[in-house]
Structure 1
């Protein structure tokens, strides 16, 4: 078990060095008046679907299907209007 303890100690030392390096960098940034870390994901994008899991009627698939149906209807209207113009 001596080897396992040595490996564990080595990894702990490596972690401590990494944390110390980050702390020093943060101290330098704070001294310059900069923000040290930015936590979180940032701002969420408003897709307009609003809670897909909450309201199954506005699922992304349904929205895509509705858009596809509209485009097909528009295409059919264009074909019909083209036939009428030819006559």
Structure 2
């Protein structure tokens, strides 16, 4: 019985570590979203944005946050790593 519990625990730990590697830490992802909101509020004062998770690059530890203004005039991607916006890629309409 104890062996079974140990095997299941190791399996769960293994699956969680793989998910953390490819998807990123959920707490860091939330911090990256918060950083994106602060950056967009400073840069585009008065605009409202919809954010979505674009992805995570595990080797760099970079979160990609997609953004689009409510009026669809401003859109693009933000690259965020360690609480800093590294790069902003604007959409074609700008």
Measured against the shorter chain, the TM-score band is: 0.3 to 0.5
Q: Which has the larger radius of gyration?
A: 1
> TM-score when scaled to structure 1?
0.32
More helix by share: 1
Which one has a larger percent strand, Structure 1 or Structure 2?
2
